[in-house]
Structure 1
Amino acid sequence: MTDISPGSSDLGAKAATLASLHAAPEILQLVNVWDVISAKTVADIPGTKALATASHSIAASLGYEDGENIPVEEMIAAVGRIAAATALPVSADLESGYGDPEDTVRRAIGVGIVGANIEDQMRPLADAAAQMESALRAGGSEGIDFVLNARTDAFVKAGDRDPADVLADAVERGKTYLAVGATSVFVPGLLDEHAVTTLVEAFGPQRLSVINVPGSLPPSRLQELGVARISYGPWTQRVALTALADSARELLAGGALPEGTLPLN
């Protein structure tokens, strides 16, 4: 059993809370964070019920390109600092598991993480399913019902394939991951209403997880369609960096800091 630090106490209860938030009729919105101050800022906003990290954003903040270029030790340290900074349940984006999903998830639990995204990267389905099973095994060995948001990259890696075939792949892969014990299936991409409806019908209500990007369906409509969870990936960091760039441009042109700026740090 993992030796849980005091700041990450009662992980079983946090995992149960995170799972229940996915199953609730009200859609779970996770505003992604990448370090302690972004986590504390989002956690303090009324309506925030849980936190999710963004691997792309964490990697960028530490000088790495996205796509498992960050060493696993640095990723675990980063998500651990976030988990220790809040009493809320934290789900971590652990990419494809850094070569060993079971060990990576076990290490993440050890620093207070109770759920994770694991990418299939469109590996052969049997291999991808085994990958998801190994992540869940880590939760069992550590004594918690780990909340796996199993990600399929069917749309992300679609290229110029027929959209109907891409959607069929996402359905097949998602149903397979749910069958091995995933809590939800994450299908990133700019999904239209037909795709969302098809996926919800295939998986069941409150089992589909999506990312919202510019042009996505609004949260209210996604909730009506039976989606479990919305996250925002690297876009929240992009919002912050856009504000920084705009302020720097204004300051260098002789302007002033924006009115209403808060001392959130």
Structure 2
Amino acid sequence: MATARAADASVAKLFATQVDGVRQLDRRFGAAQLLPGLQSQVDHMESLLHFSAAPGARTALAAALTEAATLAGWQAVDLGNYVQSWKLHETAKSAAREAGSPALLAHATAQQAYVLLDLGRVQEAVQQVEHARAEAGGWLPPLMDTWLHAAQAEAHAAADEGAACRAALDRADAARPRDPADPALPFLFLAGPHLDRWRGNCLATLGADEALQDLTAALDAMDGFNRAEAGVRCDLAVVLQRRGELEEARRQAGLAQELALVTHSERQRRRIENILQTG
């Protein structure tokens, strides 16, 4: 308790700054080298929160812990560590409730659905994202509203529910604010090219050739987002392979493979291997 007493709002801000630095490194280099340190930080923050007695400090620390655990949970998904990811998202959800933040809770709950998607439990993933919105209640920041609609679209695409997917994509586009940056939500990147990337991924999953337009438009804006670029090139390879453009599909898969090696992305590695084996 003596140690936790020192964890005031200024310390929570320092933790949040550290998490943002990890987030920026993660975009370029992936999770393999970053997750162990971030997991330790999550454990430290959780311990401080458990023993903190100051309400104001608890709220700020809980919000910082939510961001840290949600990021670490995403990294664990990307590395294929599903049990670790699920537990981290549970930590994030609990901290978001402590922080009293519907937006942070919705983000952690919906992102947890990616564990279910990767495990092939698609309908449960759809329900999880729907639950995230329902649990948030009424108004959400426009950027979070956009993100939730896009996540719902991806879950519907995985379930081969084309009409529901396209409707969710339309809602995401309609909800997107003019300014795609929200200082309160530094973990959301939904500038035009990134929403195009997401739309392209969903349409590629549905087998729609129109995905090419969105994916090609997004590709030029992926500078510094190495894992995201690997995903775009994977999706391009899938669409091109289906169109019979096998040489270009293999080229895109090869470029994605190089980026996946940089980011150590197990999710992308599995997709690329499948493309190269079938192409």
TM-score bracket relative to the smaller structure: 0.3 to 0.5
- Bigger fraction of residues in strand: 1
Higher relative contact order (CA 8 A, sep 6+): 1
TM-score by length of 1: 0.34
